[in-house]
Structure 1
């Protein structure tokens, strides 16, 4: 059974690229263009095990606030945060989460996801 992940990215081409790569590599991928959409998807699909979110997004919260909300509400969900505009330190992201700077290689994201889900961050 494929592992369900949620990609949260407001840039459609970036979101489609990573979502397609992950789907081609065996993940069940759900997509959101904002934190608000992401929270609605997480509520509707309890099988999601990992959230991959950009920091800079429009809407009521950015990716850092989203990752904090996910950790508080769904503690078992793993989190990877990304940005091309800033580096998020370990104090800014939930414990046990990863930060990956843009540009990233989709293969590196898939490996990071597999590592987090296997308990080796």
Structure 2
């Protein structure tokens, strides 16, 4: 398993999944913040510039889903790494923002760690 460091914004509307993902990321060395939809995520990103990675679920309530959020983040904050996750969808590579990654739910700590490491 890879030991990593940095700061991650988790965008997930399910409370329990959010906490589980937060625990997994903190176990491999990340500090984390949580948003429950794209609007919250954008508000956080507008005031904080210390994130290295945004992990977003695809299906979320609000003004945009995770794919649209990922595209918005790529356009607005190009240096941020982006990981898109879903248990329902398997987006094709051509719909993912350039340089982003997809990880299917459910995933293990090891697969999450490896996927994040590949983004670096």
TM-score by length of 2: 0.91
Which of 18, 23, 30 matches 2:26?
23
Which of 60, 68, 73 is the aligned partner of 2:71?
68
- State how far apart, in whole Å, the 1-side matches of 2:60 and 2:98 are: 22
- Alignment partner for residue 59 of structure 2, among 53, 56, 59? 56
Q: CA deviation at 1:71?
A: 0.1
- For residues 118 and 80 of structure 2, the distance between their equivalents in structure 1, rounded to whole angstroms, comes to 13
Cα distance in structure 1, aligned partners of 2:94 and 2:52:
22
Structure 2 alignment gaps of length 5 or more: none
Cα separation, 2, equivalents of 1:15 and 1:106: 14
> If the length of structure 1 is used for normalisation, what is the TM-score?
0.91
**Does residue 1:95 correspond to 2:107, yes or no?**
no
Matches of residues 99-114 of structure 1 in structure 2 within 5 Å? 99-114=102-117
Does residue 40 of structure 1 match 2:70? Answer: no
Q: What root-mean-square deviation, in Å, do the aligned CA atoms of Structure 1 and Structure 2 show?
A: 1.1
Q: How many residues align?
A: 116
In structure 1, stretches of 5+ residues that fail to align are none
Per the alignment, in what secondary structure is the counterpart of residue 48 of structure 1? coil
Q: Which residue pairs with 1:115 in the alignment? A: 118
2:56 and 2:85 in contact (8 A); partners too: yes
